[in-house]
Amino acid sequence: MRKINLLLPVLTILTVFSFNSIAHDLKGAIDSSDRTLKNTLRDKYRNPYETISFFGIESDMTVVELSPGGGWYTEIFANYLHQPGNLIAAHFDSNSDREYFKRGRANFEKKMQSSSMYNNVSIVDLSSNLASPNSVDAVVTFRNLHNWIGPQMGTIFKNSYKALKPGGIFGIVEHRANPGTSLDAMKKSGYVTESYAIAIAEKHGFLLVDKSEINANPKDTKNYERGVWTLPPSLRLKDKDKEQYLEIGESDRMTLLFKKPN
């Protein structure tokens, strides 16, 4: 018994060393070799270091990522957020009867099981309450508002507000439509006006803190045959004018920072 007790301090040191050796600061998380190559190639368009810094997300926060898709930002957050911080990924509902949603959720779950770096990530349904009331430090979403236009957006914003602690962060990056774009055109094109995004957030109690041009792209003319999906990475027109769209790059995006009032 005495021998076991003597080993405990050594095991504690090894555990702390092991944890610290895999815990990253934000730059280390973005530069990590754990990220997939195809995702790192998009950094020049998505500016993850500047975006996460603008939102004020720290490594010890509990963060909800709304609709993480294939996990582009999840790869970074999984490396960056560490105890007591963690990530809650609000993905497509597990009981959805839509094949695209079921496949997307299954692929994401498979990704979360592929590496121990995702041990600090939990998955919930997007339509759920997301987390216990007043329990999370930040809620973020990237390029998703156009998919939610209508009652769904109201539900998601309402649940995000409830889950956030007073003073909590609500960060949005979204394809930016020109002012005056109609709601119908937003749905078809995938671009959303800043005024619409701000109005919905404020309707649900959020306060606009700041805007940033981090993810702006003045080359984006926003008048494409297949909407925002004409541009990379989707390239819906395939080889048609492909070089032109690659030259433009990814969409012009708004970056909005809100908070839940104290």
DSSP per-residue letters across 44-57:
HHH-HHHHHHHHT-
Rounded Cα distance, 205 and 181, in Å = 24
The distance in angstroms from the start CA to the end CA of the chain is 52
CATH code of the domain covering residue 206: 3.40.50.150
In a domain, 6, yes or no: no
pLDDT tens for residues 123-141? Answer: 999 999 999 999 999 999 9
In a domain, 250, yes or no: yes
pLDDT tens for residues 78-121? Answer: 999 999 999 999 999 999 999 999 999 999 999 999 999 999 99
In a domain, 13, yes or no: no
In a domain, 10, yes or no: no
In a domain, 113, yes or no: yes
Rounded Cα distance, 84 and 43, in Å = 27
Ramachandran assignment for 198, one of left (phi > 0), alpha (psi -120 to 50 degrees), beta (any other): alpha
Whole-model pTM above 0.85?
A: yes
In a domain, 156, yes or no: yes
In a domain, 134, yes or no: yes
Q: Alpha carbon of 97 to those of 92, 130, 150, 189: distances in Å?
A: 11, 20, 20, 25
Q: What is the pLDDT along the chain (262 residues), one digit of tens a residue?
A: 444 444 444 334 333 333 334 568 999 999 999 999 999 999 999 999 999 999 999 999 999 999 999 999 999 999 999 999 999 999 999 999 999 999 999 999 999 999 999 999 999 999 999 999 999 999 999 999 999 999 999 999 999 999 999 999 999 999 999 999 999 999 999 999 999 999 999 999 999 999 999 999 999 999 999 999 999 999 999 999 999 999 999 999 999 999 999 9
Per-residue model confidence (pLDDT) at position 6:
41
Per-residue model confidence (pLDDT) at position 23:
65
235 is in which domain, residue-wise?
25-259
DSSP 190-210: S-B-HHHHHHHHHHTT-EEEE
In a domain, 236, yes or no: yes
Rounded Cα distance, 98 and 93, in Å = 10
Per-residue model confidence (pLDDT) at position 180:
97
Query: How many domains is the chain partitioned into structurally?
Result: 1
* Tokens at 130, concatenated: 């997301």
Would you give the DSSP letter of residue 234? Answer: T
- Residue 139: φ, ψ to 5°: -125, 130
